[in-house]
């Protein structure tokens, strides 16, 4: 396989800190985990445990994908999917919600032993709920997710798929128009801000056409978002549209996202990530070999909002020799 290499990014990002997400850095590396895009169900080439990838010192941030139903699951509970990595999970009675203590232990290990930032990504390509009927419903959904995945609350009856593990924030990967995302995201931000014991993050994964049809309402200066993992693939504005050496890019629109970060985003420290497929099978189009990706990263680093590179997804690399070029 023609593996994209995280070690290439580590070599390129000289002087980077080997820790969690740093909002002051342009050298962050984020890798999505959970969907096993390579597609191998078992064996050495299958998606490995979350902790396996956390042990890689070249990765800073891992969004776990996905929580793909928020309100319409059996029993009114959310639904998670982590492909082959939920095989050892049980299911809470009367629901489709998985109970995954092993993943919970991995989250804690990733945070405490490896210093990683672990997010829970909401949405994905199979999300079809179209949002929330009312603002109150959106607010209630945010409160429920916080009770399930935030700090354990005394007296709460919320089901907790990861036990007492606490994620470092939430990522929004909505692929279609979703109603009432602003009150949903705003409530999560408010709840996270109320807990001063640690730093939490809100991120989003818009597609590269600007503005993004699904996420624009909450990105349009209404919610404080910490980073966007812009998907520069499967679209006309993807990596393949970059013109080497051209100061002004016609279709490759990182500059539009930089302008948004500086002039429309509510968060002045917003970081824009270059989202790339990790290998040829990770996306329909847009995979770019490391040698061709390097000048694109060089170009993106000329923008002050550049925060690093996001890769989809962890399963695309050999789990036993993680991210070593083949």
Three-class secondary structure assignment of the chain = CCCCCHHHHHHHCCCCCCCCCCCCCCCEEEECECCCCCCCCCCCCCCCCHHHHHCCCCCCEEEEEEEEECCCCHHHCCEECCHHHHCCCEECCCCCCEECHHHHHHHHHHHHCCCCEEEEEEECCCCCCCECCCHHHHHHHHHHHHHHHCCCCCCCCCCCCCCCCCCCEEEEECCCCCECHHHHHHHHHHHHHHCCCCCCEEEECCECCCCCCCCHHHHCCCCCCCEEEEECCCCCCCHHHCCCCCCCCCCCCHHHHHHHHHHCCCCCCCEEEEEEECCCCCCCCCCCCHHHHHHHHHHHCCCCCEEEEEEECHHHCCCCCCCCCC
CA 110 to chain centre: 15
Rounded Cα distance, 11 and 284, in Å: 27
Q: How far apart are CA 85 and CA 105, in angstroms?
A: 13
* Residue found under tokens 């049809």: 213
Q: Please give the structure tokens belonging to residue 189.
A: 């931000």
- Confirm whether 129 is a catalytic residue: no
Which of 77, 96, 135, 175 is the catalytic position?
A: 175
Q: Count CB neighbours of 102 within 10 A.
A: 16
Q: Which residues pair with 117 in a beta bridge?
A: 61
- Could you list the active site residues? 175
């Amino acid at each position: 396989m023609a593996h994209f290499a995280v070690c290439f990014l580590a070599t390129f990002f000289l002087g980077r800190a080997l820790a969690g997400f740093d909002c002051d850095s342009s050298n962050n590396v984020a890798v999505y985990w959970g969907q096993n895009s390579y597609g191998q169900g078992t064996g050495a080439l299958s998606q490995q445990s979350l902790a396996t990838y956390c042990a890689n010192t070249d990765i800073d941030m891992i969004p776990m994908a996905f929580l793909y139903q928020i309100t319409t699951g059996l029993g009114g509970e959310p639904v998670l999917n982590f492909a082959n990595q939920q095989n050892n999970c049980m299911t809470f009675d009367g629901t489709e919600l998985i109970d995954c203590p092993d993943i919970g232990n991995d989250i804690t290990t990733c945070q405490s032993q490896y210093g990683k930032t672990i997010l829970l990504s909401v949405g994905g390509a199979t999300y079809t709920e179209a949002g929330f009927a009312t603002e109150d419903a959106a607010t209630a959904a945010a409160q429920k997710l916080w009770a399930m995945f935030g700090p354990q609350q005394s007296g709460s009856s919320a089901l907790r798929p990861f036990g007492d593990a606490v994620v470092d924030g939430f990522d929004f990967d909505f692929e279609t128009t979703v109603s009432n995302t602003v009150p949903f995201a705003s409530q999560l931000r408010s709840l996270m801000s109320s807990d001063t014991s640690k730093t939490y993050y809100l991120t989003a994964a818009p597609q590269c056409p600007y503005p993004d049809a699904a996420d624009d309402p909450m990105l349009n200066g209404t919610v404080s978002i910490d980073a966007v993992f812009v998907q520069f693939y499967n679209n006309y504005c993807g990596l393949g549209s970059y013109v080497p050496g051209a100061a002004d890019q016609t279709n490759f629109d990182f500059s539009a996202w930089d302008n948004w970060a500086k002039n429309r985003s509510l968060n002045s420290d917003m970081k824009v990530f270059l989202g790339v497929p990790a290998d040829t099978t990770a996306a329909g189009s847009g995979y770019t070999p490391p040698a061709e990706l390097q000048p694109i990263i060089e170009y993106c680093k000329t923008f002050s909002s550049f925060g690093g590179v996001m890769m989809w997804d962890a399963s695309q690399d050999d789990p036993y020799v993680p991210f070593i070029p083949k």
